[in-house]
Amino acid sequence: MAVHAHPDDESSKGAATMARYATEGVQVLVVTCTGGERGDILNPAMEKPEIKANLAAVRMEEMAKAREVLGVEQQWLGFVDSGLPEGDPLPPLPEGCFALQSLEVASEPLVRAMREFRPHVVLTYDDNGGYPHPDHIMCHKISVEAFEAAGDPDRYPGAGEPWQPLKLYYHMTFHQKRFEAEHEAMIKAGLESPYAEMLKRWQDRPLQWEITTQVPCADYFEVRDQALLAHATQIDPNGPFFACPTDIKREAWPTEDYHLARSLVDTELPEDDLFAGVREKVCLP
């Protein structure tokens, strides 16, 4: 189970991993907390009045295309996008949005989803949300809460029969070492790298969380690209996600990376499999 804040997050974080496991026969569920209703249109080609007026419906259609590309199941939690407030001082979040829900209210449908789907492994964001979007931070909070509560019959008693996931991971998708490797590979290939300025800003920036797990999934990078492009309002095909050619990405950094935050099974670090330690306990493909 991969828990994400908005439609398109599943395609930019962990998509190749999910596509690989789905191809291998693992049942994969993406849980999307909000509809992305307050998102901006980030692809100039999609800046059309009719799309702006129906953005929530359009993003649902994009999500349907992306989940088909990835070969995964998907479920909406039904909360409303909080938007990303800007300004100084920051304006208040919109009334009723996801990030303003109490922890119990926001977590209950995710606990229910965990108990129904019965995942062994859960993927989510770190405590900073990967970046400090209020919906990403709330996504982290409810993922941790649901992971710890789903197996306890005394918690959320109306949300189904208890089920305890075995491992919880944080996405470590955007980090300095990966972009340094891609930058150097592009320079070596005689290409102009788009990462030079970003790497200057990131110079000597320590990782908040250790990378414990690197899943080889380079064979699925093109599937990841197709899933990203399915989110046409959010992903510009001429934008930064595609600045580095896929074949160079495969060579420079052929994994997607994670931090093992919780484990109820024995495993040895570093890992190359999200199901390390789980396969020994349960029958998996």
Q: Where are the domains of the chain?
A: 2-173+255-263
Cα distances (Å, whole numbers) of residue 187 to 177, 182, 184, 250: 15, 9, 5, 15
- Is 136 annotated as a binding-site member? yes
The reported pLDDT for the residue numbered 89 is 85
Mean pLDDT of each 10-residue bin along the chain, 285 residues long: 98 98 98 95 94 94 98 98 88 96 98 98 96 95 98 98 98 94 96 89 82 98 98 93 93 98 97 95 72
The pLDDT of residue 26:
97
**Is 183 flagged in the annotation as binding?**
no
Confidence at residue 58, expressed as pLDDT on a 0 to 100 scale: 97
Q: Which CATH architecture has domain 2-173+255-263?
A: 3-Layer(aba) Sandwich (3.40)
The predicted structure's pLDDT at residue 203: 77
Confidence (pTM): 0.95
Per-residue pLDDT, 116: 98
Contacts of 7 by beta carbon, 8 Å cutoff, 6+ apart: 32, 35, 36, 59, 60, 62, 63, 66, 231, 234
Query: Is 9 marked as a binding-site residue?
Result: yes
pLDDT for the residue numbered 72: 98
146-159 burial: b if 16+ Cβ within 10 Å, else e: bbbbbbeeebbeeb
Show the tokens assigned to 227.
Answer: 């899933």
d(CA 193, CA 260): 31
Q: Strand, helix or coil at 73?
A: strand
pLDDT of residue 284: 66
